[in-house]
Amino acid sequence: MKLVIGSDHAGYLLKEDVRAYLTAEGHEVVDLGVHSTVPSDYPDAALAVGEAVVAGVGERGILICGSGVRVCVAANKIPGIRACMCHDHYSAHQGVEHDQMNVLVLGARVIGVETAHDAIESFLGAHFI
């Protein structure tokens, strides 16, 4: 699957891990930044990923910030985006299956790498019913 990912500075390290994980799993990843831990504005990441998903650059998106809350709120202001913050396997697939979620949001300061991988796997394996 072709995916777009992005983060602010607080989500940068988890984004880098997620990018590597997705690539290893055979997905095509378009990384829309950021590319360091230098302070950045979270709305920029949300806008970049949201607009890319709406434009069809990727089938789905993944956004990461410190808590997940900020980028989730910002992304949902973009028409056509249904972003949900999911820190577990169940919510990640329910959001897609029942709510047609197209952007998964993760909080880098809330969950660990393995939980992020599990939520991503669930998100990508789910289909809108």
* Residue numbers annotated as active site: 65, 98
- In sequence order, the β-bridge partners of residue 107 are 65
Q: How far is CA 83 from CA 11, 38, 101, in A?
A: 16, 25, 6
DSSP string covering the chain:
-EEEEEE-GGGHHHHHHHHHHHHHTT-EEEE----SSS---HHHHHHHHHHHHHHTSSSEEEEEESSSHHHHHHHTTSTT--EEE--SHHHHHHHHHHH---EEEEETTTS-HHHHHHHHHHHHH----
